[in-house]
Each structure stands twice: as structure tokens, then as C-alpha cells.
Amino acid sequence: MAREVRSGLSSRPRSIPPKYFYDERGSRLFDAICDLPEYYLTRAEFALLQAHAAGIVQRSRARCLVEIGSGMARKTGSLLRAISARTLSPVYVPFDIAPGPIRESARGLLAAHPTLRVRGIVGDFAHECVRLSRGLSASDGPALFAFLGSTIGNLDETEAPALLRTIASLMQRNDRFLLGIDLVKDPSTIARAYNDAQGVTAAFNKNVLSVLARELDGRIDESAFEHLALYDEARERVEMHLVSQRPQTMTLCSGDLHIELGRGERVMTEISRKFTEKSAKRMLFEGGMTMLEWLSAPERLFALCVAEKTL
């Protein structure tokens, strides 16, 4: 953590890896974001999963669900219900950076599916996806690997295909990959989703400063930063920043880091890329996968892609 944060804050433009949003408070705040009226992403994806989960599972013949970046597993239920209808011993392998949400979601899922076997794995999917092999057994398959919530959008044009190649390397011939992606749409709709009226997204963004202060013995004045989220139409992505409101020094003692920030200087905390069917297909191809299905509602807010590893 110290190494990554030092590298990001010492570079230009300055940045903090978005995975550090998700301590216990950050996970709760993101859960609250998902229920905001402006945040269409969760509702749109949930509706697609409700409509298509049974068909996806039937066509993939999945008996095991591997969820990357599982979080609170809010949208996992429809997929597990479909898998449970096909096999007496369904397997769920949640992979997330925070152990708390894995434990909490597992309790609820086990109560709903008594024959379910859960093998939770804690790790950073950006660097440690190979850990998933610990939770997989050849006897569990075929497996459906799921990467939902448009989390792939937090990775840039190089990082996303690299992650997909790693996932593809873990997949067997008959396994399938399910990807949830946010779509290019009216910029005002996108902008509202990241600048909600209640300020929950702003609190979520600023919470990363609390994480750094706690984990890296930081001296940070959170009140001296403001939330900023902008949609870059040319690059088809949202950029989320913390903007310094005055000249100040960010000190992280454990990272031996002292960063001088000027008034108005930005620290980027997250990108969120938006896709078209063409750009999603290209990204999957670069990641060693072939798109099999494109599932989107008529309003084209969100899409699900089903893919296989390229043989």
C-alpha cells in the first residue's frame, strides 16, 4: 500500500488507487451509493440479471460461480438461484479485497441456499487474481466467472485487457465469463450519477483520505479537499478527483511521504470508463476472450456481455 500510494502521489497527475476506498466505512458508503436515485448503474444491471440470469446459466451449464470484486454480492442472488436449480451442490467463490463483505454476504447467501458451498478468497484482483485457483476445483465446473458492477471501467486501456488475460488463463475450455459494463449515453445522466444531491459520493471519495491517514500514519486535513467528478466525452470516461482547497502538505509517515499541494491541485482517485458494443468487444478480444452474447435493455443504460476464452 505504501509503495503504490507513494508512486501515485509522486507522479503527475497525482493519483490514489481506487481499491483503497473500500475499508468497512467505504464499503457501506458504496452500498448507499447503489441505492441513490441518480445512480442508475446498479438498478439497470440488476434488472438485466433478473431478466437473463436463468438463460445465461442454462447456456453456460454453470455449476460454479466465481465473482471477482464481489463486495456485498448484491446482484449475485439471481445467478446463484439459477445455478442452484441445476445442481445439488452449487459452489460460490467470492474474491474481494475486503474480508468483511465476503463474510457478511456469505452468511446471507448460505441462509438462502443451504446446499451452497462458499470459498471466499481475499485479495487484490488487479495483482492477485491467480489466487482464485485456490478456490477452484476441476470437479466444480463448468464455472461462470463474473465481473459485475462495471468495475472493469476502473481500469484503463492497458490494465483492463491485462486483467482479462489473467482471468482467461484461469478458465477451462467450457467456462464462461460474464461482464457488466456501463454504456456511453447522455453526458448529463452520467454526470448526475457521480455528483448526487445528498453528497454520498463525495463522502465516499473523501473516505480514501481517512484510509490513508489510518493505515499509513497520515497527517491529512480532509476538510481541505473537495469532491470533483467530471465526464470526459472524448475519452468516454468519468474522472473522480479530490481537489485541494488551499496550499497544504500531505504527510504519510509510514510511507515516508510529504507531498506539497497547491490550491486547486487535483488528486485523481478513480476513472470509470463507459463502453459501446464495439469497444467492449475489442477490449475482450485484447484480453484473450471472444464475445458470445450482448444483452442490453431498450434504454441502453447498461449491458451484460457473455464471453469465452479464445482458443
On the question of pLDDT at 181 being above 80, the answer is yes
pTM, to two decimals: 0.91
Nearest to 145 by CA among 160, 155, 153, 135: 135
Which cell numbers in the block locate residue 157?
486501456
Mean pLDDT, the chain, whole residue set: 93
CB count in 10 Å sphere of residue 257: 17
Which cell numbers in the block locate residue 130?
491467480
Instruction: Provide the sign of the torsion angle of the four alpha carbons 11, 15, 16, 18, taken in this order.
Output: negative
Tell me what pLDDT residue 99 has.
86
Rg (CA), the chain: 20
The number of residues in the chain equals 311
Tell me what pLDDT residue 130 has.
83
Q: How far apart are CA 131 and CA 122, in angstroms?
A: 8
Percentage of the residues of the chain whose pLDDT score is greater than 90: 79
Architecture of domain 40-185+275-309: 3-Layer(aba) Sandwich (3.40)
On the question of pLDDT at 193 being above 90, the answer is yes
Tell me what pLDDT residue 100 has.
84
Tell me what pLDDT residue 255 has.
76
pLDDT digits (tens, 9 = 90+) for 20-44: 998 889 989 998 999 999 999 999 9
Tell me what pLDDT residue 267 has.
97
On the question of pLDDT at 138 being above 80, the answer is no
- Give residue limits of the domains in the chain: 2-36+187-273, 40-185+275-309
pLDDT-derived band at 97, boundaries 50, 70, 90: confident
Q: How far apart are CA 60 and CA 175, in angstroms?
A: 7
| 183, 189, 209 from 196: Cα distances, Å | 19, 11, 20
Which cell numbers in the block locate residue 128?
492477485
pLDDT digits (tens, 9 = 90+) for 234-293: 999 999 999 999 999 999 998 789 999 999 999 999 999 999 999 999 999 999 999 999
